[in-house]
Amino acid sequence: MNRSFDKPAMLMGVVALVVSVLYFLDLSGVVQVDEVVTLVTLWIALAAVGLLRAGLRLKERLSG
């Protein structure tokens, strides 16, 4: 596995996954999804990607 990851692909993949999962959650009636929910979820997911990337960099730096 690469030490880091391809950032654009990861970001777009996360956006695609979040949108599709939110759609199915809304369809099943588990949560009522609107624009605000979508944008906040995307924001959190993208921030999580940033954290993951920072964690990978830190791990790489610590390992020498």
Partner 1 sequence: MTAPDATAAPRLQRPYGTPFRGVCSALARATGTDPVLWRVLFAVLVVFDGLGILLYLLGMLLIPYEGQPHSLAERLLHGPDRRMSRPEMWLLIALAIVGIGYVSHPRSAVVIAVAGVVGYLMWRGRQDPTFPAPAPPAPPVFPEVAEPYVPPVSWTPSPPRPRSPLGGITFAVAAMVAGVLALVGVSGVDMPVAVPIAGALAVVGIGLVAGSFFGRSWGLFLLAGLLTLSLGVATGVQPLIDDGVGKRDWSPTGTASYRLGAGKGVLDLTNAESGDITAHVGFGQLLVEVPTGRSVDIDARNDYGDLDLFGKSYGGRHQHRTLGSSDATLHLHLSVRAGEIKVVQQ
- Residues 33/22, Cβ–Cβ less than 8 Å: yes
Neighbours of 62 (CB within 10 A): 7
Residue 60 binds partner 1, judged by CB under 8 A: no
Q: Under 8 Å CB-to-CB from 7, ≥6 apart: which residues?
A: 49, 53
What single letter denotes the amino acid at residue 46?
L
State yes or no: residue 21 binds partner 1 (CB under 8 A): yes
Among 29, 30, 31, 35, binds partner 1 (CB under 8 A): 35
* Least distance to partner 1, CB of residue 3, Å: 10
Task: By CB under 8 A, name the binding residues for partner 1.
Answer: 1-2, 5-21, 23-24, 27, 34-35, 38-39, 42, 46
